[in-house]
Amino acid sequence: MSKYKNIESLIEKKKSEVSDLDTLEKFRLNFLGKKGEISLLMKELSQLDADARKQQAEELNIIKDSVLKFVKDKTAELQNEAMQGQLTSESLDLSLPVNSQNGTIHPVTQVIEEVIAIFGDLDFFVAEGPEVETDYNNFTALNTSEHHPARQMHDTFYVNSSTDNMPNVLRTHTSPVQIRSMLKQKPPIRLIAPGKTFRRDDDQTHTPMFHQVEGLVIDNESNMSHLKGCLETFLKSFFETDSLKMRFRPSHFPFTEPSAEVDIGYKKKGNQLIIGEGDDWLEILGCGMVHPNVLKNVNINPDEYQGYAFGMGIERLAMLKYGISDLRTFFDNDLRWNKHYGFSSINIPSLIGDLS
């Protein structure tokens, strides 16, 4: 009979007492810990003569291995049980109502959603492009050649990669999405492209990253009055006022001809801006008829097709509509600011429901 019958039956008895990871750990220490039963028996082996030592060590090692195997298997079994328990107790019921107390929608996201809702209703679709753009799409294809002064005005961030031997850039405006979209899709085109833009500028009225939304319409009949009608519809809808005053000032952009900047009328009441009243003017966007060179660059025949484009700053729209005075606060991630200016996550802007 084995010398180790006692410990074997003790092991069997203790095994049946293991019910969770804690008792399993106790079990392990009880037998395999420094002062555990098996470890002590191992130490005793040194007092035996060589033959007995060899034989008993073999027996003891078999017992030790079986304890190790039990601990390993039981650990896996108990961990699995714990995981199953957790999965059932922490399951997520997706049909439960959203807890609108948790987090808010950032004004930039809110305004982008509002802009999409309005232009969506006017049959525009949403186009996207990458934030790291080729110099060609950001400038050259938009009729802004290498030495064009407009390139300086954009304070471009260049990145450490290149396309056709020209460094890539962080797009300085959303206008390159026009190029990508016209290369992909034949007219008629009606798109808006909201997204992040970047310029090397940082002061009270500029942040190195900001958001714009681009608009582009290409077909064979659009003209300046369509552009004006479209922008007027948008601005009235966005500022939720029928009395919006709007004026077009001649301007210059390389990618449009003629080009204009649009101002809206406002008055100041205390610290508040009231859009649609008063005799003061605020610049709100740039626009114009797409330059024939831009159409040629994307293989669209300017004798057959024409169209208009516009671009505006999302933060600026948000500041005017929601009375936010400092641009930089948009990106401070101050939770108090987010809570104050943020929007409920359950009110999705729509023209049928509420825009804001």
List, in sequence order, every beta strand (DSSP E) within 42-140: 125-126, 132-133
Residue from 168, 175, 181, 297 touching ligand DAH (CB under 6 A): that is 175
For position 287 contacting ligand DAH by CB under 6 A, the verdict is: yes
Q: How far is the CB of 227 from ligand DAH (least distance, A)?
A: 9
For position 214 contacting ligand DAH by CB under 6 A, the verdict is: yes
List, in sequence order, every beta strand (DSSP E) within 54-150: 125-126, 132-133
Residue from 187, 194, 276, 288 touching ligand DAH (CB under 6 A): that is 288
Only segment of 25-33, 34-42, 273-281, 308-316 that touches ligand DAH (CB under 6 A): 308-316
Query: In sequence order, which residues have a C-beta less than 8 Å from that of residue 226 and are 6 or more positions away?
Result: 217, 308
Only segment of 40-48, 96-104, 304-312, 332-340 that touches ligand DAH (CB under 6 A): 304-312
Q: How far is the CB of 291 from ligand DAH (least distance, A)?
A: 9
Q: Please give the DSSP secondary-structure letter assigned to residue 6.
A: H
Between CA 276 and CA 116 the distance in angstroms is 22
C-beta of 104 vs 297, nearer to ligand DAH: 297
Q: How far is the CB of 286 from ligand DAH (least distance, A)?
A: 3
CA distances from 257 to 51, 56, 174, 350 (A): 103, 98, 18, 33
What does the longest C-alpha to C-alpha distance in the chain come to?
110
What is the SS3 assignment for 352? coil
Only segment of 77-85, 131-139, 272-280, 286-294 that touches ligand DAH (CB under 6 A): 286-294
C-beta of 118 vs 285, nearer to ligand DAH: 285
Residue from 74, 173, 291, 321 touching ligand DAH (CB under 6 A): that is 173
Taking only Cα atoms into account, the Rg of the chain, rounded to an integer number of angstroms, comes to: 35
Q: What are the two backbone dihedrals, phi and then psi, of residue 79, each rounded to the nearest 5 degrees?
A: -65, -40
- Virtual CA dihedral for 269, 240, 227, 121, nearest 10 degrees? 160
C-beta of 28 vs 173, nearer to ligand DAH: 173
Residue from 124, 139, 253, 305 touching ligand DAH (CB under 6 A): that is 253
CA distances from 338 to 60, 105, 155 (A): 66, 8, 29
For position 137 contacting ligand DAH by CB under 6 A, the verdict is: no
For position 244 contacting ligand DAH by CB under 6 A, the verdict is: no
Q: How far is the CB of 142 from ligand DAH (least distance, A)?
A: 8
| Residues at the site binding ligand DAH, with contacts judged by CB under 6 A | 173, 175, 214, 253, 256, 286-288, 309-311
